[in-house]
Amino acid sequence: MNRQTLTDARCHMISTLDRDAVSKQTMRDSRNRIVGYYDPRTNLTKDARFHTASSGNLLASLIR
């Protein structure tokens, strides 16, 4: 698993992005709660409740 941390201009953590072996991505907020998923095979972004949010990778738009 590959983890990337996203920070703001003051170096405060905003979220983390985890990628598994088949490139599926999971986005978590600063409190480590899952906000969404992206599967490159289906090209769909899903929210934390597995409802389709959009086509394409728009995980960053799910962060509040």
Specify the pLDDT at position 46.
Answer: 96
pTM to 2 decimal places: 0.86
Dihedral-angle region of residue 53 (phi above 0 means left; psi in -120 to 50 means alpha; beta otherwise): alpha
Residue-wise pLDDT for 2-61, tens only, equals 999 999 999 999 999 999 988 899 999 999 999 999 999 999 999 999 999 999 999 989
User: Which residues contact residue 57 at a Cβ distance below 8 angstroms, ignoring those fewer than 6 apart?
Assistant: 25, 38, 40, 43, 45
HSE, side-chain direction, 13 A CA sphere, residue 51: 3
Specify the pLDDT at position 19.
Answer: 95
Residue at 10: amino acid letter: R
Q: DSSP letters along 42-61, please?
A: TTEEEETTS-EEEES--GGG
